[in-house]
Homo-oligomer: A and B are copies of this chain.
Amino acid sequence: MENKNIPYKIYLDEADMPQAWYNLRADMKNKPVPLLNPGTGKPMTAAELGGVFCDELVQQELDNDTPFIPIPEEIRGFYKMYRPSPLVRAYCLEKALNTPAKIYYKFEGNNTSGSHKLNSAIAQAYYAKKQGLKGVTTETGAGQWGTALSMACAYLGLDCKVFMVKVSYEQKPFRREVMRTYGASVTPSPSMETEVGRRILAEYPGTTGSLGCAISEAVEVATTNPGYRYVLGSVLNQVLLHQSVIGLETKAALDKYGVKPDIIIGCAGGGSNLGGLIAPFMGEKLRGEADYRFIAVEPASCPSFTRGVYAYDFCDTGKICPLAKMYTLGSGFIPSPNHAGGLRFHGMSSVLSQLYHDGYMEARAVEQTSVFEAAEQFARIEGILPAPESSHAIRAAIDEAVRCRETGEAKTILFGLTGTGYFDLTAYQAFNDGKMTDYIPTDEELAQSIATLPKVPGME
């Protein structure tokens, strides 16, 4: 029974915070298919993955069966510094839209990294520390993941080496300075510090870098320096596991007030936020205990769910990582540079891809000017300046709420507000100046990049 006195913000008590992550894979009948070794076409073994990732994270990556994995006490202590995050009832937005819909959003931006990325960063850093490692390496583009990892490593006293795509390093000096303030070393990529970096610089002297290249450098440093491992902020099963804390808190907060959402919306790039937000709700749906509509919102400029294919592909442009089966545009796909927000990844979490393939979720693609219109409207009404990524979910939530106004249905809409836009003001400026444009790849462009899908040995 829904309680009528729902506050603007619902905070769980510390005692009600999740003690374990929820592993959605345990409830999936069709499990996500395993990562493949691109050389042999065989599933990656724990030993193979252990050269790149920490041992305990490899276990989590491969565990399709354990439904709940306890959150270590140290991580719960760190979570208490910035969690529980508020579940907000968007009373002001509802009023402004004049909709009978009830809108809720889980806001993950109230921490210095500015997004939900911190939930997995502290987990991955913790297991590295526990394994007695010296440090971790990673890549960062826009910088949210790099910032989150820097914060986690500073807290644990772990060395943190971030390869930042050169163009971002130069254009986003403030992100870089946050990471430096947290003690991370930040290297513009490609760099002269790695073999792959030197090779790329020799071949393309003036290059401003790419995420694929930064991944290659970070992996090289992790695998050639004793005491280091590589960590990644999205796509992986382990990341979705850690991010389940978002959904678990959300569900506990809603349950407290007897609220059951009809529609659950999240933006989708690699899937870390969406997978985390929907986890416990999707679990109920998979177990046949409840039904929900799930909507993944992706940019029309990088539409892996809505226009991609479900196939094995490389996770990185550099083609050095294992193959994952996922909805993909081809690892050679490069979103138009006029795309301002994140969510630029060509592929998608294997877990979410399987669920989408099996018909458990919907997906829709939205164009960026309409996303920034929603962002501006939301900022003015709800007071939070949203990240461009998060604003994809806002766009869809507003659209659904407006539909409710038209049909008169008082649906309950829940969406994930993953972060803040304080470091995305160049994009806001383009929007404020009326200089933002949209870009939708043509069918021919997509066919070309999809044609670059790798041939998997034994599957030809």
Interface residues of A (CB under 8 A from B): 7-9, 11, 13-14, 78, 80-82, 92, 110-112, 114, 151, 154-155, 173-174, 177-178, 180-183, 376, 379-385, 420, 422-423, 425, 428-429, 431-432
Contacts and interface: CB of A to CB of B under 8 A. Distances in A.
B80 A8 contact: yes
A420 B422 CA distance: 11
Contacts of A422: 114, 174, 178, 422-423
Contacts of A428: 177-178, 180-181
How many subunits of this chain does the assembly comprise? 2
Q: What does DSSP make chain A's interface, helix, strand, loop or mixed?
A: helix
A64 B7 CA distance: 34
The 6 closest A-B pairs by CB, nearest first: A174-B425, A154-B380, A8-B80, A7-B14, A177-B425, A422-B422
Contact of A379 (B7, B182, B431): B182
A383 B112 contact: yes
Contacts of A181: 376, 379-380, 385, 428, 431-432
A7 B177 contact: no
Contact of A180 (B7, B177, B423, B432): B432
A22 B151 CA distance: 38
B383 A81 contact: yes
A177 B81 CA distance: 30
Nearest to A109: B110
Contacts of A110: 110
Nearest to A154: B380
A38 to B, nearest CB: 38
Nearest to A385: B112
A425 B380 contact: no
A432 B177 contact: yes
Given A8-B14, A177-B428, A422-B423, 8 more contacts: A11-B11, A111-B383, A112-B379, A174-B425, A178-B422, A180-B432, A181-B428, A182-B380
B380 A155 contact: yes
A458 B412 CA distance: 68
A14 B383 CA distance: 18
